Amino acid sequence: MGQLHDLTALEQGEAVRTGRVSPVELTEHYLERIGRLDATVGAFITVTPDVARKQAADAESAASAARREGRELPPLHGVPVPVKDLSQVAGVRWTMGSAAMAGNVATVDDHVVTKLRDAGTILLGKTNTPEFGLPAHTENAVAPPARTPWDLGRSAGGSSGGAAAAVAAGLAPLAHASDGGGSIRIPASVCGLFGIKPSRGRVSPGPVLDDVTGLVTSGPLARTVADAAALLDVLAGPMPGDPYAAPALPPGETFTGHARRAPGRLRVAHITEAPVPGVELHPECRRAAEEAAGLLRELGHEVEELTIPGDEALGRAFTTVWEVLSTLVPVPPGGSEHLLPLTRHLRERGTRVTGTEFAAALYRMRGTGRLVAGALQAPGTGYDVLLSPTLARPPLPVGALRNDEDPEGEFAAMAGFTPFAPLYNATGQPAVSVPLHWTPEGLPVGIMLGGRYGDEATLISLSAQLEEARPWAGRRPAMW
């Protein structure tokens, strides 16, 4: 069997159900690895060994009772799943990556945490995130920077950089993450993982600090498509009062089931250029998408090249909404002096946005969503999937994006690093990053697949087909 962390999350869940592995044994294995390796990769802000051991003991008791009584358990029962520190876990420190909230303790569970508890998963801790999840790196004032295990001199990306570093380093089998402008897909690309940014409304954002813009959603990061699909099954589903709700799967179907189902022949649009003026694609990122297009053709899909013109108005609208979002985090009295320069810059600009300007920016994004939806579903000319590089560049060195002296320049550099990802947050469409390519230096480079609103199932089926054709989970960094 090798080591426990060699098993996929679903394999771990099966081992727990059959009694071959105890949740206590799994939890101790991961806590030991976190204690030994986390300082190197910066995956966690807060580790919760007491909570994890209590949950593991409870999960073992439940598994033993289920075996005696012949009852089924959820697929991820007894499997450790850390939570990104932008989300709340009652009784656990909740910093949002900010020194201004370093001593804060959450009093409620976010809905995603409630669902993780109900699924029987084990909380190892809260993963590293940049301040308020605003940048595309994970470098803050409360924890070491998150690094990709493939090259410890390079960033794990952001804002779910800690979650990705944990999974890629074998400190967790899979992880909860969130994405408001690429924050699941960016770390997935630079850490060699599969990540899903679900459709708007697929995962409930409540019950507090609800994102009024519809940009942000929780989702999974994992080593395999099936593991990510299983975690999406746990997280998915609306809650009372949610402002959005994605179309439900047909009765009896699951996302995990779609990871085992052929996608059929699909029509794919290969976006060949960055839709942000002035952004040049790194040759390895271009090569990754071109090779993916070739593989899709080999698998029988129809692939056409497509150029999306740069839309500066949409970029300005997204920036306006992002600035307003930054102001909505309730900073404690006196805490503003502890905020990083980029956060202060965005919040200051956000306070100057008028209600009319904010509404116009949201209107622009909603209009883009309708235009894209119409283009994808146009009879005879539409596409099932959009293909592009996930990022414009391979993993960057730690500190390459952060610029405390020029926060406006830092924000512009991030837009150039991740020109493809924010479109899907603006439109609400699902998108995934697939780890199909590695550079000659051994750095992972993801490709992105975007789908019709509400159609994560097709993306999961297609990604699983790509995974079967070009397996990646056996590739592991040296520190594994």
Which residues are known catalytic residues?
Answer: 84, 159, 183
CA distance 194 to 184: 9
Joined tokens for residue 336: 């503003």
Q: By the 8 A CB rule, do 196 and 220 touch?
A: yes
DSSP alpha helices (H): ranges in 352-389? Answer: 355-377
Which residues contact residue 215 at a Cβ distance below 8 angstroms, ignoring those fewer than 6 apart? 180, 181, 321, 322, 325, 425, 426
Joined tokens for residue 279: 């952004």
CA distances, 84 to each of 62, 138, 205, 454 (Å)? 26, 12, 13, 24
Q: By the 8 A CB rule, do 374 and 134 touch?
A: no
The DSSP bridge partners found for residue 174 are 222
CA distance 111 to 176: 12
**Residue 145 half-sphere exposure, CB side, CA atoms within 13 Å?**
22
Joined tokens for residue 87: 């989300």
A 10 A CB-CB count for 253 gives 13
Q: By the 8 A CB rule, do 269 and 306 touch?
A: yes
Q: Return the sign of the alpha-carbon dihedral for residues 355, 357, 360, 362.
A: negative
What is the per-residue DSSP string for 311-337?
Answer: -HHHHHHHHHHHHHHHHTS-PPTT-GG
A 10 A CB-CB count for 477 gives 18
Across the beta sheet with 217-222, the strand order is 174-179, 217-222, 194-197, 431-438, 444-451, 385-389, 267-271, 302-306
Tell me the pairing of strands 444-451 and 431-438.
Answer: antiparallel
The 3-state DSSP composition of the chain as helix, strand, coil percent (nearest 5) reads: 40, 15, 45
CA distance 89 to 121: 13
Q: By the 8 A CB rule, do 164 and 130 touch?
A: no
CA distance 140 to 96: 10
